[in-house]
Structure 1
Amino acid sequence: MKPVFKFTILSAVFMCWAPSSAIALTGDGLINNPASSITGQVERHAERLVERAANRRVEHRSEALRKSLNALPDTLPVYTEAGQNAFNDVVLDDGFRAVERQWLVTGTAEDIDHLDRPGITVLERTALSGLGMIVARFRVRPDLDSLETLRELLPELADRLDRNHVYSPQADESGSSEVPEVRSGVSLCEEPVRIGMIDTSVATDHSAFGDAQIIEQRFLSIEDGRGELAHVTTHGTAVAGQLIGRHGSSGQARLPGAKLFNASVFYTRNESLSGATLAHLLQGLDWLATKEVSVINISLAGPDNRLLAEAVRNLKKRGALMVAAVGNEGPAASPLYPAAYSGVVGVTATSRAGELYRWANRGEQVMFSAHGVAVSVPHPEGGVKTESGTSLAAPVVTAALACEASSSNPQKALEALIDQAQDLGEPGRDSLFGFGFLPY
């Protein structure tokens, strides 16, 4: 059946695509032309059509999976590893999710003392020296659980508090695919770069990481010594595979000489979904800020948040480059964060042929595009699996940026990537592909 399928596609493409001036007919009606070059072009075009059809099948499977996974209940109990209820993960009026009735505020110690009010319980205070922030996490009575109410109650803190939002990874399992990633397995550079990653835990015993240097710290603890949230490994293992994982049995990693510092912040929501609270996310970013990493990969997305915005500003002041997935909520979705913050390199995903990932967010926050559709990544239980999403495109850009930053300053490193990007959309930077595609 395969030869017949290829002939059918070739015939249709030849009839619809080949220029008439290149074709001549003999008396018996057979095609007679020096068309070997045209035939080659037609075959390549047909192969692209086959790949596109396969990618569409992958995306249809992904769409079905997304619908089933995104059906979280409005109130989702989250448990510690010991099975104790830690908090409820709830949906908000704007569709985003947060820890039920929990808020964060940043300021001086004296500022935070203003939280001593009826109906407010301070759960913890944390000095984040790497970010230059003091953060308090507190719980409120149900009747105080709105920004408008807290602004009236705490006017001196109104611009420095926000919800303890929950953020999500940006990759979708695609199942098996006819078009898994094909790359040479050649490294981008061998310099001993230091890169940061904030994600799930990584299955460091996977064969892809046999020669890798991974330092991991978990940020999943709950107040009052009640233990830790149950951690997960799937997403972080895939993202780390894009950064420092060896490709196949003989191929090299993109960054074979790198030291990867991974802040594990994601907890289990259900069998297939994970989430990260803003409180844990800030702790992870603070830890990375102390490790002198040149680039931080952030393959997660969620709502705008005052404390997250301040953390990003402070990291930028320290000279850290931040690369973030723009999100997988679709072309009509609003910008997601931290990719949409100024100073963050937002990355979208394309297929190997340069076609935009169907579910990728679009907008001014897109700075680069990279391969993130039907990518073969390490599976925590061994072997590989195929996934798609902006989460998998971001580390490709992170790796390239880390190489450039190893011999220049952050601004020149960004300029180098802009020069290397292949323009796929409208001339110049656009809302789909940014400055263009980085083919690494």
Structure 2
Amino acid sequence: MKTNCFFSQRTLTCLFGVGLTVSLPALGAENLTGAALKRIDQQVERAVDRQIERQLEAATERLPALVRPDAPAPLAELPARLVIQSDTGRELFTDVEVEDGWRAVERQWLITVDVSDIHHFNQPGITVIDQTQMAGLGLTVLRFRVDPGLDSRDQLQKLLPEALVQRLDRNHIYRSQTGASKHQGPSNIDEPPSCPVPISIGMVDTAVETDHPAFAGTAVVQRDFLQDLQLADSYHAPTDHGTAVASRLTGKTSANAATRLPSATLFSASVFYGRPASVSGATLLHLVEGLAWLESNDVALINVSMAGPDNRVLATVIKRLIDRGTPVVAAVGNEGPAAPALYPAGYPGVIGVTAVDQDRQVYRWANRGEQVDYAAPGVDVAVALTDGRYGSQSGTSLAAPIVSAHLACALASTSLDNALAQLTRRADDLGDEGRDPVFGHGLLPDIH
């Protein structure tokens, strides 16, 4: 493939022979280290993959009769800097692109600390914003801002002890893992519940439209972790993704369907803010605050239908949850079969879930790898939509709650090890014999 690259004052632009163009921030010659070149290579690879996906989506729109409507929502072109404002116009934080094409809160970093660590952050160029106590997890998370010249791990390593640098990371931003919605008419399905036992299930996601008829037969306890920010209307907490996921977990997915887990109590941590083109985001701080709150409510497990970069603080919180006996079920992500692992599904001990369609074929956009533990229906599946409607969506986000429901029901009467063994025996082995990187242990059926 022929490739031509050229520099402008601030940008490196590469033109590929297949009609793709990638633009990246330019680096001075003094910064062209091996690590920097590797980051450029990774950013180019991710940008090319995304543009190819968008071209495939455009092609499928021109051939609607030949493809299934299972593509994820197109990746929005967010601006390099997106200022998130309050309802009074005050700047709350800035959502920016950082290393490897991920996004994070501009110049904000998080670290898990002990009391003896705090004095290291009392120095020029570092401003401590706050400390968040997570008593149930035995952790304290310190959030700090750095001057522009210190906004990298390499620079912070010059100021802080190595042991601290190994525990800190950016305040990354995570996104949900579903495709576009389709409205559908009333369903004639009226399925009896299969799990009538009382259980508490946790979910960290967007807000849930709790007054939706889908949740008339189940209890939802919700906490908004962005309420104090008083977001402007254009950034207000969305409800679309959380409502769909919750309907697949404990609610109803159509007007005539039975409540899926009628005796369950769903604890919902709302951690997302709105962004252009309905691409909502959740900062790492709000995500881990939500996880800690769910742990404090003694939930049977936590469903995480979102994905993003590997992060040292998130890894620490997830490990602490698992060590304390709270299973985490996570969507493996919709970046495509050649994409690297996304997180938290990629962390050891997390139960990663992929999606399959009605023909038991894997969702074509699903990530693959050792992080896949189980498969569940997640392509063009029935969900509750906002404003009291019902419809269908696709994505690994919608497969994860099916596995969460199966596991929560099993945990009501047995240990985690036994419950996972039950799920593995129940799973229909697909693909290569035994566990494989596409379907994991196999397909678990929908909860009916």
TM-score (norm. length: structure 1): 0.82
The answer on whether the counterparts of 2:184 and 2:391 sit within 8 Å (CA) in structure 1 is no
Runs of 4+ in 1 over 6 A off after TM superposition: 180-183
How far apart in 2 are the matches of 1:300 and 1:101? 23
Distance 2:207 2:180 in 1: 17
Residue aligning to 1:430:
436
Q: Distance in 1 between matches of 2:381 and 2:182?
A: 11
The one-character-per-residue Cα deviations of 1:302-336 (angstroms, maximum 9, x if unpaired) are 01111111101110121111100000000111100
Does structure 1 residue 345 correspond to structure 2 residue 351?
A: yes
Partner of 1:252 in structure 2?
A: 258
| Structure 1 residues without counterparts, runs of 5 or longer | 1-52
**Partner residue, 1:8:** none
C-alpha separation in 2, matches of 1:181 and 1:81: 40
Pair 1:284-2:290 in alignment: yes
Structure 2, gaps ≥5 residues long: 1-63
Q: Please state if 1:323 is matched with 2:329.
A: yes
Residue correspondences, number: 379
Q: CA deviation at 1:374?
A: 0.3
Q: Which residue of 1 aligns with 2:201?
A: 195
Determine if contact 2:250/2:259 at 8 Å carries over to the other structure: yes
Work out whether 1:419 is the aligned partner of 2:425.
Answer: yes
- 2:167 aligned to 160, 164, 178, which one? 160
Q: Tell me by how many angstroms 1:247 deviates.
A: 4.0
User: Residue 239 in 1 paired to residue 245 in 2?
Assistant: yes
Decide whether the 8 Å contact of 1:58 with 1:177 is kept in 2. no
Give how far 1:206 is off. 0.8
AA matched with 1:317: D
- Tell me, yes or no, if the aligned pair for 2:188 and 2:256 is still in contact at 8 Å: no
Match of 2:217 in 1: 211
The match for 1:56 is 67
Write the distance in 2 (CA, Å) between the matches of 1:371 and 1:85. Answer: 41
CA RMSD of aligned residues (A): 2.0
Relative to 1, partners in 2 of residues 1:124 and 1:350: Cα closer, same or farther, differing over 3 Å? same
Residues 141 and 271 (structure 1 numbering): CA distance in 2 closer, same or farther, change over 3 Å?
Answer: same
Distance 1:387 1:313 in 2: 31
- Checking the alignment, whether the CA contact within 8 Å between 1:331 and 1:362 is kept in structure 2 is yes
- Following superposition, the deviation at residue 113 of structure 1 comes to 2.2
| Correspondent of 1:84 among 74, 90, 95 | 90
Query: 1:244 & 1:285 partners in 2: Cα distance?
Result: 19
Relative to structure 1, the CA distance from residue 138 to residue 221 in structure 2 (aligned partners, 3 Å threshold; closer, same or farther) is: farther
SS of the residue corresponding to residue 130 of structure 1 reads helix
Tell me the SS of whatever aligns to 1:73.
coil
2:336/2:364 contact within 8 Å kept: yes
Which one has the largest radius of gyration?
1
Correspondence for 2:179: 172
Amino acid at match of 2:177: Q
Distance 1:207 1:177 in 2: 15
Q: Given that residues 188 and 400 in structure 1 are in contact (C-alpha distance below 8 angstroms), is that contact kept between their aligned partners in structure 2? A: no
Query: Which secondary structure does the structure 2 equivalent of 1:419 belong to?
Result: helix
TM-score using structure 2 length: 0.81
1:54 to 1:323, Cα distance in 2 relative to 1, 3 A: farther
- 1:185 aligns with one of 179, 188, 191: 191
> Is the 2:218–2:261 contact (alpha carbons within 8 Å) kept by the matching residues of 1?
no
Distance 2:188 2:174 in 1: 31
